[in-house]
Structure 1
């Protein structure tokens, strides 16, 4: 008896200490640990009936079996004929006999409803298409994972944005540009013959949050991906992703007709070039009938484009759009352009693209970064939003944290996304939000989209930092419904990823919701921006002024001198503010009323400038940098308190990364304040923790092998 008890005790301990590596993401279908809920769920769903034989309905069946059997810890029968307490999944057409009063809308919307028919209780998931049923399936499983009641359901949901994409910056050699989670998940060498199970799990994860497209390769494109052997590889991936409602897209190199087509020009108005792209489109669609289209980076950072031939962006985009239009394809043309000769990089995209408004084909989307510079910890929204009423604009966010500590720092980006989406452009009066621009509703566009630069790699936990998963999750959820709050999304993710324990949820949520403001404070407070090291973009280098072009140097952006600091973008400076609507300009035009968050974005102000807190600018800068460090300390403390609630492997991983983040926050604080003090000539405030090294020490540090170099 003693031996039996000892064995049981050891088994219990082993179970409690079972480590997870993060591979399952938020799709951890572990047994519901609330017995009352478990009993209720088991009574509500005793069988599954899936109507339909398509590959997508096959994916629905597999997910329901996997999810329900895991969550309910019992065998759920799959029936040919629904019985009492059956979960029924199928399209409206397949379930026509049920005569449902309510209907989902659109090709991807879904309905989940509890219904009594002939005295039998059913839970029904339906949509106009199998893709809608798939999204509804994941939504129901999310309800179970987050311990929500399911006895009386009536949920109708439709995505607010049509295209919800991940943009992979992955090269064919598997190196990922700005990638901080290992190498590319796409193994081009073994494709098309070897299909890694990871591709399927990637598709499941994306479908679970409503992502319906993926751009497989880097915007700094290699034309080789458009050759026949590689298109066979792309087709193999398309076959894997298709059942999960995901279309594949390719970044196209504008000079491909020269590089792989042996033409002497890539001029978009040249008939031979146009015919080449038309033939290439036909070749692609013969292999991949649902190919999404092309993403193009042109005339930016050395990439070829139409301006090389005296043409404009519309000429280039329209030429490619005409090639894919007969097949239902689209072209996504990036607006990330800047001229080293311009007096303000902020203004360049607006200057190049607004004159072209209304000149793009109907199947062209212009993809605009969330801010006017480059994915900074905080930026005002790009002035292009609301300035091109005749052109559908697509949002580009960055999940891979190029300027936010990369794969090392815990930064929950949903507050950043929401800050931009909720911003009011005032383009058609108050409440003309950025979200209404990109969902097409403000100007009645039918084509709409949100893209996120992917943070997925081949690391076992997908994103390098475990909490990077939350940004992938948040992008999908906000692209489906941008009215969700950062707190709601964090709560969902925590409950699915870690625990439904209220204390655990509250503590992790506090860490997540404070993390973005923490990184702003210890990196770029008060509107500072782009003061990271050249190349790797990981740490601070505010003194840098030797890049090949001035707009790659931090000194270009902070403009610190003896009189003050900040970039004057008012009428007395570059007048970049003129690109916004009058109501927006008014928010930022006066340094005395401008929000502290954007003060140094728009103003060069004295070190003695009186801040809203009552402190001088110099003292406020010191305060913010210290506040950032203190916030990371608080994050560490909260995480330590969760040790008994998180499995050892994931707990220790995050614990180590938070220690690095804390060290890096101190590094940022010390470097920036020591450097800016050389201009302000002002002492650190009393009781301030003094830097432990000199400025010269920090300036001599080198990071030749940091990711991103």
Structure 2
């Protein structure tokens, strides 16, 4: 009030009416908003919004009370999640009871923690520690549902599965479900730096606030753990593989321990990326030679220090002798020597080493994609029992499409962990709608043929092909400090599908997409089907407008934003697009047959024969393995040049269709998320057109051929596209 002159009664009356009118409008908006209320994406797929009244009523008749222990941190987390989820979905708080006193009890626990479950004498031997059973039973004469496991963490996973059933409108009257993870280590790799930046991160700064840790444990850390547990992820590598050695100092280990405390109730172990030369940089030694006794002693002492702070510490992730990182080869040692030295330090504590196979050197005349196989294949069987070799899905570097990595199936005596990229470094960053489920499924279902037909990559990853119990999948995270976690709502689907496929690599990417859509947006089939169709076609659209027919690595140098197929300026040949597409007046593509680099020979003979044959190779891998004349006649009857232009154009047209699909669904989605997706699709269309036009302009400048009839020329000259410069691209780090 201070100093404000009193206003007349009429003015106050008018103001009051206006305020009342605004209040009534706001109230009406709240009452009418329903499923379309504004959302910012923070809840991810754990949106426990009230279900439609009829559906909620049906579920309420089957879930009338909760019987759950709360004597351990994981039990507390499980009960809390169920109360939160069921209360939100069913629209009313669920009473907690000690015994089943009426129909509809939801009973959760293990045979040890729950006498009611123990009394059922369930056979849960096949479930292991992390599996669960959800079953409709009769307890004390009353119909009930149980969520049971051999361990608290299995019960937590079962609780999330039960909530997923309700979120996706599944029947729960007669349940008999049992599930368990097929892969042991299901890990997110965060490429987060200690200064808060994120290499190849497109969702803002790092979520780890190292400055405020260990004293301030932000609530977001718990929500991160909840989200991961809901899809079965059980590990997190907190820092960049291009590691800062400071992470191993006691000051930072105390911060790591604080995060481990938050994650532990949700079954998530923390891991650290370590720099191989850390014994020199933070240990004061003069060498990091893995066979030097002082170095081995330093790693043992450091491991003891870590486990004293973090008893369930997972282990180390190591990038060594790759892209300038130090490693054992600096001392004339092998990768096995280096990995085994660290593994020996961790073994007494149950820790593992995940040693990345992403290595290559700038050797003139050597095909970059062959180098990882050449370095690691001879070391098969030489790694310690607690070492996993972390192998990218393809032999190059997370390109929109690659054939499967030939190391899968080629190292039967070595435990391999598959590395996938969730953050879309080469697929449009955060603003392109590209669902990666089809990419992951394509890699996992690929047949290595190393033990005959059916020797799929998935069977290598889950250990069934070679009899390994220590198995894993790792995903390079797309998580940042943005309110929606991933830079856009649809990017959340890639975090989700990674977790679900890491749990079971044989699941369907389409079925997972449908789950995610129902949990994230709506159960209305009129919305779900077109959105799932859009998602399932989005990856192929991106391949078409970026790198069709087996092309790869056409992006801008360093920042990886946009097309630069003309670039030959990198500090090393195999960082440049011209090295990979090898376009000249005669044709285009990288000859990897026996007449070229012979990379096909790294695959099992049946696969090698298919890839080496122009008659047998799928079109999608053609230019990856063959240098083909521009007038080569494709299976479609078109020339290669015409087919290339058509694919680029089809990619752009597919984005236009995605826009039309999304525009038709406005009434099903809250305005905030609808507008963000619409805006990002507009960006995607603009950049897809840019990719198409720049690549066509460049390749046409080499071959001098006309465009096929009816296909529009590039909007600008090649000189224009070459003039574009980008100095503010997010997510780029020079390490």
Smaller-chain TM-score bracket = over 0.9
Residue in structure 2 matched with residue 639 of structure 1 by the alignment: 662
1:58 to 55, 69, 76: 76
- 1:17, distance to aligned residue in structure 2 (A): 5.2
Between the aligned partners of 1:207 and 1:16, the Cα distance in structure 2 is 26
State yes or no: 1:618 paired with 2:625.
no
- 1:82, distance to aligned residue in structure 2 (A): 2.7
Q: What aligned pairs does 1:198-213 form with structure 2 within 5 A after superposition?
A: 198-213=220-235
Residue in structure 1 matched with residue 393 of structure 2 by the alignment: 370
Whether the 8 Å contact between 1:537 and 1:708 is mirrored in structure 2 is no
Residue in structure 1 matched with residue 503 of structure 2 by the alignment: 480
Between the aligned partners of 1:703 and 1:7, the Cα distance in structure 2 is 44
Q: Deviations over 1:635-685 (max 9, x none)?
A: 000000111111000000010000000000000000000100112211011
1:99 to 120, 145, 167: 120
1:548 to 571, 585, 588: 571
Between the aligned partners of 1:15 and 1:604, the Cα distance in structure 2 is 57
Instruction: Answer with 275-284 or 685-694: which moved more.
Output: 685-694
> For residues 125 and 490 of structure 1, do their structure 2 counterparts lie closer, same or farther at Cα, with a shift above 3 Å needed?
same
Between the aligned partners of 1:272 and 1:12, the Cα distance in structure 2 is 70
Residue in structure 2 matched with residue 520 of structure 1 by the alignment: 543
Residue in structure 2 matched with residue 269 of structure 1 by the alignment: 291
State yes or no: 1:413 paired with 2:436.
yes
Residue in structure 2 matched with residue 306 of structure 1 by the alignment: 328
Residue in structure 1 matched with residue 402 of structure 2 by the alignment: 379
1:512 is paired with a residue whose SS is helix
Q: What aligned pairs does 1:88-127 form with structure 2 within 5 A after superposition?
A: 88-95=107-114, 96-103=117-124, 105-127=127-149
Between the aligned partners of 1:672 and 1:420, the Cα distance in structure 2 is 26
Residue in structure 2 matched with residue 354 of structure 1 by the alignment: 377
2:40 to 21, 45, 48: 21
Whether the 8 Å contact between 1:89 and 1:124 is mirrored in structure 2 is yes
Residue in structure 2 matched with residue 12 of structure 1 by the alignment: 31
Residue in structure 2 matched with residue 234 of structure 1 by the alignment: 256
TM-score, length basis structure 1: 0.98
Residue in structure 2 matched with residue 656 of structure 1 by the alignment: 679
1:165 to 173, 183, 187: 187
Residue in structure 1 matched with residue 161 of structure 2 by the alignment: 139
Residue in structure 1 matched with residue 345 of structure 2 by the alignment: 323
Between the aligned partners of 2:50 and 2:88, the Cα distance in structure 1 is 6
Whether the 8 Å contact between 1:535 and 1:708 is mirrored in structure 2 is no
- Equivalent pairs, count: 707
Q: Deviations over 1:601-635 (max 9, x none)?
A: 00000000011111000000000000000000000
1:75 to 90, 93, 97: 93
- 1:226, distance to aligned residue in structure 2 (A): 0.4
Q: Deviations over 1:361-401 (max 9, x none)?
A: 00000000000000000000000000001001000000010
- 1:37, distance to aligned residue in structure 2 (A): 2.2
- 1:466, distance to aligned residue in structure 2 (A): 1.2
Residue in structure 1 matched with residue 470 of structure 2 by the alignment: 447
Residue in structure 1 matched with residue 105 of structure 2 by the alignment: 86
Between the aligned partners of 1:424 and 1:457, the Cα distance in structure 2 is 35
> For residues 534 and 315 of structure 1, do their structure 2 counterparts lie closer, same or farther at Cα, with a shift above 3 Å needed?
same
Between the aligned partners of 1:668 and 1:308, the Cα distance in structure 2 is 40
Q: Deviations over 1:328-361 (max 9, x none)?
A: 0000000000111052001000000011100000
1:77 is paired with a residue whose SS is coil
> For residues 53 and 606 of structure 1, do their structure 2 counterparts lie closer, same or farther at Cα, with a shift above 3 Å needed?
same
1:407 is paired with a residue whose SS is coil
State yes or no: 1:180 paired with 2:224.
no
Between the aligned partners of 1:497 and 1:92, the Cα distance in structure 2 is 34
Whether the 8 Å contact between 1:204 and 1:244 is mirrored in structure 2 is yes
- 1:39, distance to aligned residue in structure 2 (A): 1.4
2:545 is paired with a residue whose SS is helix
Residue in structure 1 matched with residue 9 of structure 2 by the alignment: none
> For residues 637 and 263 of structure 1, do their structure 2 counterparts lie closer, same or farther at Cα, with a shift above 3 Å needed?
same
Residue in structure 2 matched with residue 152 of structure 1 by the alignment: 174
Q: Deviations over 1:147-183 (max 9, x none)?
A: 0001111001010100000000000001101111101
Residue in structure 2 matched with residue 279 of structure 1 by the alignment: 301
Between the aligned partners of 1:353 and 1:385, the Cα distance in structure 2 is 11
Between the aligned partners of 2:29 and 2:118, the Cα distance in structure 1 is 54
Instruction: Answer with 223-232 or 78-87: which moved more.
Output: 78-87
2:709 to 680, 686, 701: 686
Between the aligned partners of 1:11 and 1:250, the Cα distance in structure 2 is 46
Residue in structure 1 matched with residue 555 of structure 2 by the alignment: 532
Between the aligned partners of 1:123 and 1:379, the Cα distance in structure 2 is 45
TM-score, length basis structure 2: 0.95
- 1:213, distance to aligned residue in structure 2 (A): 0.2
Between the aligned partners of 2:476 and 2:542, the Cα distance in structure 1 is 19
Whether the 8 Å contact between 2:36 and 2:668 is mirrored in structure 1 is no
Q: Deviations over 1:127-155 (max 9, x none)?
A: 11000000000000000000000111100
Whether the 8 Å contact between 2:565 and 2:578 is mirrored in structure 1 is yes
> For residues 265 and 520 of structure 1, do their structure 2 counterparts lie closer, same or farther at Cα, with a shift above 3 Å needed?
same
Gaps of 5+ in 1: none
Residue in structure 1 matched with residue 5 of structure 2 by the alignment: none
Between the aligned partners of 1:52 and 1:215, the Cα distance in structure 2 is 29
Which of the two has higher C-alpha Rg? 2
2:666 is paired with a residue whose SS is coil
1:32 to 31, 51, 59: 51
Instruction: Answer with 96-105 or 443-452: which moved more.
Output: 96-105
Q: Deviations over 1:59-111 (max 9, x none)?
A: 00100000000000012001122322110110132235322333252110000
Whether the 8 Å contact between 1:52 and 1:94 is mirrored in structure 2 is no
Whether the 8 Å contact between 2:147 and 2:155 is mirrored in structure 1 is yes
2:667 is paired with a residue whose SS is coil
Between the aligned partners of 2:148 and 2:35, the Cα distance in structure 1 is 38
Whether the 8 Å contact between 2:100 and 2:139 is mirrored in structure 1 is no
1:336 to 358, 369, 373: 358
- 1:9, distance to aligned residue in structure 2 (A): 4.2
- 1:292, distance to aligned residue in structure 2 (A): 0.2
Whether the 8 Å contact between 1:386 and 1:427 is mirrored in structure 2 is yes
1:112 is paired with a residue whose SS is strand
> For residues 599 and 252 of structure 1, do their structure 2 counterparts lie closer, same or farther at Cα, with a shift above 3 Å needed?
same
Residue in structure 2 matched with residue 392 of structure 1 by the alignment: 415
Between the aligned partners of 1:252 and 1:446, the Cα distance in structure 2 is 25
